[in-house]
Amino acid sequence: MPVMRTLTLMTGIVLVAACGGGGGGGAANPPTQPPPPSGNTTVSDIQGTGAASPLEGQTVTVRGQVTGDFQEGDSDERRNLGGFYLQDGPPDASFDTSDGVFVFDGDTPPRDVDVGDVVEVTGEVTEHFGETQIDASSVRVVGRGSLIPAPINLPVSGTTTNSDGDPIADLERYEGMLVEFTGTLTVTDVRELEQFGEVTLSQGGRLYQFTNGNAPDAAGYDSHKNLNARRTIVLDDGLRTRNPNEIHYLDAGGTSDYSIRSGDTLTGLVGNLRYSRGSGANGDETWRLMPTVDPVFVSANPRPGAPSIGGSIRVATFNVENFFTTIDAGQDDCGPSGIAGCRGADSPAEYTRQLDKIVTALALLDADIVGLVEIENNADASLAALVDALNARVGNGAYTYVDTGTIHDDVIKTGFIYRVATVSPTGDFALLDRSVDSRFNDARNRPALAQTFSVAATGAVFTLAINHLKSKGSPCDADGDPNLGDGQGNCNMTRTNAAAALADWLATDPTGSGDDDFMILGDLNAYNNEDPVTALTSAGLVNLLDSMTNPYSFTFDAQAGALDHAVASASMAAQVVDVIEWHINADEPELHDYNLEFGRDPTLFDASTPYRSSDHDPVVVGLDPT
């Protein structure tokens, strides 16, 4: 009879190793387990109390149980990291040291191991992109055992920083161990699902941008980032292949039609904890859970159908993510000057896919007027292409566009399309740039476009202004507008000055409508409590998103927030029946969009649905204009 040796760790893990008998690894009669060799090293000795091993570069022999089988070339093709995770016996005296470690045995491992095998490993201790590993020269199966995962409750108590300087949860004491994240976790980002096979999860619901619900503040922003780090873990696919053929979590739900979205939930997440960048040593450096049990997601945030909203007239703003009729083959012949880099589709096939997907969204949107953002700044080809394709879908001549020609000198512009039967433009359009108000820096912000419309059924008149203010992505330090670290990002003053100028300009009735009903639409590149939005409300305007809890139209850095807005004059706000954000894009993984790069499976694309037609969600407003 084999003798059972039970080893209880301080984390609550129990290792039961069978001693005696014979046979190979995983067999019913495991081989006799000899006494530990003289000078045998424990995993906690290897891990130490710091981020790097105190034994780095030394050859060690260690014994423990296989808790995660991620070897190459075995029968489990869903988990391939070039090795396995090992966890050993009696606990050390310090809770600050991990009892798990990754054993690297390469593309052709000398010994195939299984979860539950007790193994003896000899090899050199290495640090691989921040993860402590053993580069195995010998692996010997000596028995069988079982382990209970160590529970981890988020948020953890502390944070540390990665080599990029970003805060991350301090989980060093669990590195390499078999763990279970208790409680319910929420999907808060799926941006890297295709490229790195990862899903960002958070405790306590999804993550939101700090300034979406808080006033800008440097100290508050720092606290926000640290709390987010303590709440967050990345679920990896357990592969070291970038852009894998099989996307593990795309349809990993409890129903046949499931497709993962931010806002969905997950419980009982079990696996080995790893510190690394994404597949192929790219992506963010953070703690990643390599699952040993395939997770099953709950569709807590199902895909919305066509928007349902009250009111006799429906207006919307929609950032269509660089819709260009010029194919981007790497040339610099776009923009009014003909010397700017092109964007959008990289091939005719991508162009067709992009156009079809946007038109599906526009048809379901069913708006009387749509303010479009990020269309190619050409004479009219970009607008005409959208209108022609939309009319082919919903009825010949149903829609047309406001013909502005090119606007200023940026490679992209804004524009209006409208339903001919219900509304019509009144008078000429108007543009706001620095020639009208020096506060509006048109070298950074796209000029605001205003157009007055009249309602066919009632004769009611109102003015819409579509906008695209400076992004946060590049700095404005040269303009004396630095990032103040208060959560508003780069170029906040540039956007704020433009917003103040916009409010004052519209108050002058620039289109000559003779009516004080107007609405500001578009991508302000400012979250809901940032200075540009405050500048508008301080001018007496009404932020229509304030009627929502946690509004959002975009996800960046695993945090949702409202960049796309609808802000109305007081008289116009009184005519608003309802406002919604149509969440068809921000919650969806990028692999549903029109692109075909990185060897993407083209069959993942479905032109008959609006999901991931862009990276921004449309904002839709229902009106009863008087």
- Both tokens of 71, joined, read 């070897």
Q: How far apart are CA 70 and CA 83, in angstroms?
A: 5
User: Residues near 256 by Cβ (< 8 Å), separated by ≥ 6?
Assistant: none
- Mapped onto helix, strand or coil, the DSSP state of residue 5 is strand
Q: How far apart are CA 118 and CA 89, in angstroms?
A: 10
Beta strands 412-419 and 559-561, pairing class = unpaired
The CATH 2.40.50.200 portion of the chain extends over: 3-144
Q: How far apart are CA 86 and CA 66, in angstroms?
A: 5
Q: How far apart are CA 460 and CA 448, in angstroms?
A: 23
**8 Å CB contact between 266 and 310:** no
Buried b (16+ CB within 10 A) or exposed e, 17-35: bbbebeeebeeeebbebee
The CATH 3.60.10.10 portion of the chain extends over: 315-327+336-587+611-623
pLDDT of residue 598: 87
pLDDT of residue 16: 41
| List of the chain residues with pLDDT < 50 | 1-38, 90-91
Please state which of the four CATH numbers 3.20.20.105, 2.60.120.650, 3.30.460.80, 2.40.50.200 is assigned to the domain occupying 3-144: 2.40.50.200
pLDDT of residue 177: 95
What is the DSSP secondary structure assignment for residue 436, as one 8-state letter?
A: T
Residue with the two structure tokens 């566009």: 401
What is the DSSP secondary structure assignment for residue 599, as one 8-state letter?
A: T
Vertex 617: Cα angle to 483 and 203 (nearest 5): 70
What is the DSSP secondary structure assignment for residue 485, as one 8-state letter?
A: S
pLDDT of residue 94: 63
pLDDT tens, position by position, 271-316: 999 999 888 677 889 999 999 999 999 999 999 999 999 999 999 9
pLDDT of residue 399: 98
- Both tokens of 567, joined, read 């802000």
Q: How far apart are CA 122 and CA 135, in angstroms?
A: 8
- Both tokens of 56, joined, read 């780095």
- Both tokens of 260, joined, read 């993962």
Q: How far apart are CA 149 and CA 138, in angstroms?
A: 26
CATH classification code of 315-327+336-587+611-623: 3.60.10.10
User: Residues near 460 by Cβ (< 8 Å), separated by ≥ 6?
Assistant: 454, 517, 625, 626
pTM reported for the whole predicted model: 0.92
